[in-house]
Copies of this chain bind each other. A is one copy, B any other.
Amino acid sequence: MKIITKEIILQSRGNCNIIDLTDETQKILNETNLLEGSCGIFSIGSTAAVTTIEYEPGLLRDIPRILDKLIPQFSKYYHNETWGDGNGHAHIRSALIGTSLNVPFRNGMLMLGTWQQIVLIDFDNKKRTRRVAIQVTGK
């Protein structure tokens, strides 16, 4: 059993920018030469989330729209009154969707569905540099 931890740096536009991390994750997995185990993907920071979606243009529009209905950007948040940064909605969306994901792999391949990609969603209200930890554990 081995464990390898990488940190990747992304440029995000914020505002529900959805970034496909699948190729980068598989590339890191390839470099480890491990065959069976799990990739942990972790969003470092509390205004983004990681999850899986079918990465296609329709959903890239639907997901921000639904989230803006459920947890609106322009609403009253005590967080915004305290900090004045206008990203209270981003914190709550991140907490609800989650910041950690674990994807198993076998024969050196991520066990994703054909139309299933690993994504970071950046909910913050401005463009940002984002850090994501990718940790491969396996044999």
Contacts and interface: CB of A to CB of B under 8 A. Distances in A.
Interface of A: 1-3, 5, 7, 36-38, 40, 42, 44-46, 51-54, 56-59, 61-63, 66, 70-71, 77-83, 88, 91-92, 94-104, 106, 111-113, 115-117, 131, 133, 135, 137-139
Copies in the complex: 3
Contacts of A101: 98-100
Contacts of A111: 5, 7, 42, 44, 133
A139 B58 contact: no
A100 to B, nearest CB: 5
B42 A3 contact: no
B138 A3 contact: yes
Main DSSP-derived SS at the A contact region: mixed
A104 B7 CA distance: 11
Contact of A103 (B71, B100, B117, B139): B100
Contacts of A116: 44-46, 99
Contacts of A46: 52-54, 113, 115-117
A-B pairs, 5 with minimum CB distance: A58-B79, A58-B78, A45-B113, A58-B82, A46-B116
A39 B16 CA distance: 28
A15 to B, nearest CB: 17
A53 B91 contact: yes
A62 B44 CA distance: 21
